[in-house]
Structure formats: C-alpha cells, structure tokens
Amino acid sequence: MKLLFDFPWYCVLFCLLAGVLYSVILYRRRRPDETALPRPVRLLLPLLRFLSVSLIALLLTAPLVRRNVGTQEKPIIVVAQDRSLSVPADQRDIMSPQLDALGRDYQLVLDTFGSRSTDIAAALASVADRYAGRNLGAVVLATDGIYNQGQNPTAVAQGMAVPVYTVALGDTTQRRDAAIAHVRFNRMAYMGNQFPVEVTVRAHRLAGERATLSISRGGQRLFSKELRYTEGQFTATETLVLDADKAGLQSYTVALTPCEGEASTRNNSRTIAIEVLDGHQKIAFLAAAPHPDISALRQSIEQSPNYEVAVYCPANNVQPEKLKDCSLLVLHNLPTFGNPINLAPLSQIPTIYVIGTQTDLGRFNALHTGLEIVAKSRKTDEVTPSHNAAFALFTLSDDICGRIEQLPPLDAPFGTYRPAASLQTLFTAKVGGVATDRPLVAFCQQEGVRRAFVVGEGLWRWRLQNYLMTGSHADFDQLVEKMVVYTSLQASRDRLQVTHEHIYQENEPVVFQAELYNDNFEPVNDPAVQLTLYKVSEGEKPAGSTYEFNRSGNGYALHLGLLAPGRYDYTASATLAGKSHTAKGSFVVEELNLEELNLTADHTLLATLSSTTGGQMLTPDQLEQLPQLLKERDDLKTVVYSHTRYTELLNLPWLFVLLVLLLAVEWGVRKYFFS
C-alpha cells in the first residue's frame, strides 16, 4: 500500500505541525487541578489531540491509496446442451444430474443451443468470445453431432485452446427415410417468364420403392414426376420449370409421397415463396467522369435480375426524355463544376446522390433535395460510418452494421450540413474517430419522391474491404440493395404506408415499419396505428391478431417476433384529422425442416472434435466418469489475478473509526479527570 499526494511530500510535515501547534495551544497552561493528574495522563491528552488533528489535516489533502489486490478465479467449465429437435426428448437435459458434482470444484456455466436448426460452430464460437481472457478450463458439449447450419465445428474448437469433452447423444442407426434435402430457386421472377426450381431428393434404405415428386400452388398441381429409389443411399436432383403467370407473392408446395415405414414424413414437403414482378426496373447511372465507385455500385445492383442498368458517362449530352422511363437515377458527383447538365427535369424520379469531391455544392443545394451542404472551400474530410440505431425505414442486422463501421473512410465535403426535417440517417459520419451528427448515408421523401444520399466518394474501397474481411461482397451488396429497393419505389400518395419483407424464415422475427402523412405530406406519428393479421390458411381472423405499432423516430415500428409458417394477410389502419386511412399487404413465413433432413447422429464428428482438442468422447452411460476425468487434468487450476486499485484515503472506513476513537478517548479522559 502506498500513499499518493497531489501536493509535494513535505506537505505532510505541515499536517504534523498543525497537530503539534493545536496540542501546545490547548494544553500549554496547566489548570490548578491538573498538577494532581498522573504524568501518563498529562502526556496522553496532548498526544491524542495531536494525532486527531494531524489525521484530519492529512485527510483534507485528499491523498490516494494505491494497493495491489489479488482475486482468485476457479476454472470455468461450460456445459453446452443441444436441445434441437434431432436430439431425443429424454436426452435434452441429460447433463442435469452431473451439474452438482461439477459445481463443487469449478465455476459451472450451463448453456443451451439449437431448436429449429443446429449450429455447433456458432455455439462454440460464442463460448470462446464470452470467456476470452478468462480462466476457461474445458467445454462439455452434449449433442448428437448433427449440424445443419454454419461451418464444421472442429476448426472452431481447435482455436479455443481448451479441451472439449463431447457427450454422444442420438442414434447412429440409419433409418428408412426419404426427404426433400434442398430446394434452390430465385426469390423473384418476372411476369410472363419461366423460372427454374431445382429439387434434391435423398432416400435411405428404400431401394426398390417408388414415390411421386410434385409441386403445387393453391391446391392445383403444376408438375409431377415418379421417382424410383434404385439404391439404398439414393440421391437425385430434378429441375422443374414453372411459368410466372400470376403477379404478386406466390406460394408453392414441393411434396414427395411417403413410403411405408419411413421414420419421418415431416421432411417430405417444403413450402417456398416467390415474388412475381410485373416488369424490369431500369436504373440509370449519370456521372461527369469515369469512377470506380460506379463499377462497385453497378456490380452490386446487377446481382439481382430485377434491374436493368445503363451508364451515361459523361452525362452532359443525355436528353431527359431518355430517362423518363427509369425507376431510379444514380448521380455520381453531379452536378459538377463546369458540367452544364440540367437536373431539374429529373426531379420527380427517385434518385441516389453520391456526393464527392467534384460535386458543385452550390448547384446541388439549388435542387432542394432535402440536404444542403454549405462550404466555403473545396476541402474534404475522411469520414467513417457510425450506425444510427434509431433508423426505421428498413432493417440491417447488427452484424452487418458492425462490419460496415469497420470499412475504410470516404472523402466527404467539408462544410456545414443542413438536413431537412424528413431526412432519416442510416449512418452518420465520424471525423477522426469522433462521432458527429453529419449524415453519411441518409434518405428522405419529399412530395412523394424518395431520395438517398451517400455523402462521400470511395465506395469501391468499401466493396473491396468487405471481401477482404468476410470473403464475399455480401454486406456491401445488401446495403446497396436495401438503398435501391427503398429509393426506387415511387412513393404512393397513400397517407398510411407499411413496409416489410415479403418472405421470412420460420426462425426470423417479423418486423414492420409504417409511415403516416398529413395533408402537407409530412410524416407524423401522433395517432395510433393498428395492424390486424390474418392467416390465409385459416380463412378467418385468428384470436389475438390485432397489434398496435410503437412510435419510432418520425414513424412507427412493430416487432411481431416469430410466427408459424404460412401465408399471412394484414390490414393496417389509422385515423388522422377525422379521416380513416388503411394499408393492406401480405407476406409468407417459410417452414424450416432442417432438423428433419438428417436423423442419423454423427458420433464420428464428436470423436474427432474431442481427440483434436485433448478431450474425450463419452456416451450417456459414461457420464459419471466426467468429474474424475476433469480432476485428473493438470491444467485446470485456480488462477490468481492481480491488479492495482486506487482509493481515496477518505473512503477507508477504518480511518473514520480511528478518528472517532481518538476524539472519544480524549473526551472521556478529560470528562473523568476534570469533572
């Protein structure tokens, strides 16, 4: 323990001197009855006053106490229990009897994973992240070894540098079963075209049996074919070509007739949803000069067959009449210095503005797009993105937003930013690592026309860095797709507008956003907005299907959570200024049968996982050996962590007790001898 002072060390001498002076002044003159006091008492009283006054003076200097504190941490044992549907129900809590025995010697943490799908690698990675830098001793993984999502868990387990003890659950017996293993298809098709659906069928121990593969819509069979299982381990892939003859969200059921004695028939059918669009959307890029940003954006947009892209560079000779049938314009560095292009005739077309170093901000501000940038020079800032959690126009997952925040900086104009009240910001700009309220990626809607803004050039670096970080352009492509989808939709004049995804997975929460506009087409969120949900298969309004939106920003948001598979219709309603407004739509929740596709436990994977990490695979009958196996390990030891702690001397309770004791003893002695 060491005392630290903000003042020079010799200030302690002044504290002692104050105690001496106070004692001398108080006890320098002897009273007549004081001469009869014993000598020890005559010395004790000044000493007590000296100590108490010196201590009070020392505390007034507010010194700090530096101490080295040590804490002990027992080895952490994480028990991860697989509770997915592929694990037999009587084995999903098989570790419960062993928890008391393990908890006596270790810090025990019980974890569960799996439900409609199983990702063993993600479960192990979560343990590694949560206990990084801690005294993680071992992981006990109770599972059947079947994973239907994520990567092979062996590589993740090896990177944890702790032994993994696996408990082999499930049954390794190959059972008679047939399943629709995979259905591959495009989420969107165009009216009047044909689209392929590729179906993979797998069958085990059904050699010589026959089944019919079919696909239907609304109870009407569109395709069927008889299959003959020629082998005990049968796999076949069939490509079905269907007509996109009906616009809107279409649901199709792919089914395989079951054979006698199959272990499960739940995996013999799959429901898929495809959105059939009326036609292609045309997107035009206008730029004053070639730039790698244009190529990056174009590559992302052309990932979807929904869009037909044209590039006009340089754009000064383009006639506005050629662009009237475009669904979206992307203007890169336009208007620019010295470019005579007139953008006013294009003001009613949804537009994405990429504002960079060559943008003529004066002419840009004159367009009244919803964002003004006032700059006195052509200086630029290097800005990085910071996600705005209050953004509510559409959703990006937290993982994607987190990775986007790690992308390289863009070159943005330096100046004063003046956003319109309707502007909603997805990413704000960080300058030199300091967060600001400047919009970096933002959206607005004025007079029914939607616009998006990327205030900075250098998007090509984002796409390249995204590939270096993840091995794909998926994050950047999804950001661009969301921007294009939202902006290209010519906003209707309906006062109540509801947005959502058309297709959800069974394990994906259903989320709605809504906007309500007044007579001036300004967003308001004072009135309540309700949504009534109907499941089409039931044909009537189910109980408990009315929900109320929550207010979020200038609009509304509603989180419905997980819904049962099927097609849903909804009606949203609100009353504004005495007038009723409604919005209707539909969406599909697709069923996940991943846990039904593979019913055979993979104990080989578990044995490999344990042996490569220094653990051991156990059967349920061998679980009683687990506590002894852990005790025999030399690397499971209690760790002592030492750290420095700084505390104000004034906050030490024993000093207060000492001070009170000194004053109380002095008062008691004086009271006893002088009363």
Q: Could you give the percent of the chain with pLDDT greater than 70?
A: 95
Per-residue pLDDT, 468: 92
Q: Are residues 226 and 293 in the same domain?
A: no
C-alpha to C-alpha distance for 354 and 374, rounded to whole angstroms: 16
Q: CATH code at 462?
A: 3.40.50.880
Q: CATH code at 266?
A: 2.60.40.10
- Domain end position, chosen among 432, 462, 488: 488
Q: Are residues 432 and 529 in the same domain?
A: no
What are the strands, taking DSSP E only, across 278-363? 281-287, 307-312, 328-332, 351-355
pLDDT band at 544 (very low <50, low <70, confident <90, very high): low
Q: Is the link from the previous residue into 292 a cis peptide, with omega within 30 of 0?
A: no
Per-residue pLDDT, 539: 47
Give SS3 for 481.
helix
Q: Please say whether the beta carbons of 456 and 355 come within 8 A.
A: yes
C-alpha to C-alpha distance for 318 and 304, rounded to whole angstroms: 26
- Domain end position, chosen among 278, 310, 341: 278
Cβ neighbors of 370 (< 8 A, separation 6 or more) are 419, 420, 422, 423, 444, 446, 451, 453
Residue closest to 372 by CA, chosen among 249, 455, 303, 258: 455
Higher-confidence position of 309 and 322: 309
What is the Rg, in whole angstroms, of the alpha carbon atoms belonging to the chain?
36
Q: What is the pLDDT of residues 124-172, one digit of tens each?
A: 999 999 998 888 999 999 999 888 888 889 989 988 889 999 999 988 8
Look at the block and give the residue holding tokens 């993994």: 164
Q: Are residues 10 and 91 in the same domain?
A: no
Q: Are residues 401 and 544 in the same domain?
A: no
Task: Rank 183-197, 393-407, 584-598 by mean pLDDT and report only the highest.
Answer: 393-407
Element (H, E) at 160: helix 153-160
Q: What is the pLDDT of residues 633-665, one digit of tens each?
A: 888 888 887 778 878 877 888 888 888 888 888
Cβ neighbors of 310 (< 8 A, separation 6 or more) are 282, 283, 284, 285
Q: Sign of the C-alpha dihedral, residues 339, 344, 349, 350? A: positive
Q: Are residues 368 and 460 in the same domain?
A: yes
For residue 355, being part of any structural domain is answered with yes
Q: Which amino acid is at 436?
A: T
Q: Are residues 59 and 91 in the same domain?
A: no
Residue closest to 137 by CA, chosen among 638, 653, 645, 543: 638
- Domain end position, chosen among 278, 301, 319: 278
User: Mean pLDDT for the chain?
Assistant: 85
Q: Are residues 460 and 609 in the same domain?
A: no
Beta bridge partners of 450: 445
Q: What is the pLDDT of residues 546-575, one digit of tens each?
A: 899 999 888 999 999 888 888 888 999 999
Per-residue pLDDT, 19: 84
Q: CATH code at 96?
A: 3.40.50.410
What are the strands, taking DSSP E only, across 218-357? 220-228, 233-243, 248-256, 269-277, 281-287, 307-312, 328-332, 351-355
For residue 108, being part of any structural domain is answered with yes
Say what the pTM is.
0.55
Q: Please say whether the beta carbons of 91 and 146 come within 8 A.
A: no
For residue 160, being part of any structural domain is answered with yes
For residue 83, being part of any structural domain is answered with yes
Beta bridge partners of 461: none
Per-residue pLDDT, 490: 60
For residue 318, being part of any structural domain is answered with yes
Q: What is the mean pLDDT of residues 42-57?
A: 84
C-alpha to C-alpha distance for 403 and 406, rounded to whole angstroms: 5
Residue closest to 533 by CA, chosen among 561, 506, 507: 561
For residue 595, being part of any structural domain is answered with no
Q: Are residues 368 and 462 in the same domain?
A: yes
Residue 31 has pLDDT above 60, yes or no: no
Range of the domain at 582: 496-590
Q: Could you give the percent of the chain with pLDDT greater than 90?
A: 31
Per-residue pLDDT, 186: 82
Q: Please say whether the beta carbons of 190 and 279 come within 8 A.
A: yes
Q: What is the pLDDT of residues 434-467, one digit of tens each?
A: 889 999 999 998 877 889 999 999 999 999 999 9
Number of alpha carbons in the 13 Å side-chain half-sphere of residue 636: 22
Q: Are residues 563 and 629 in the same domain?
A: no
Q: Are residues 349 and 400 in the same domain?
A: yes
Q: What is the pLDDT of residues 276-303, one digit of tens each?
A: 876 567 899 988 888 999 999 999 998 8
For residue 614, being part of any structural domain is answered with yes
For residue 462, being part of any structural domain is answered with yes
Per-residue pLDDT, 429: 93
Residue 20 has pLDDT above 90, yes or no: no
Q: Are residues 549 and 615 in the same domain?
A: no
Q: What is the total count of domains within the chain?
A: 5
Q: Are residues 288 and 319 in the same domain?
A: yes
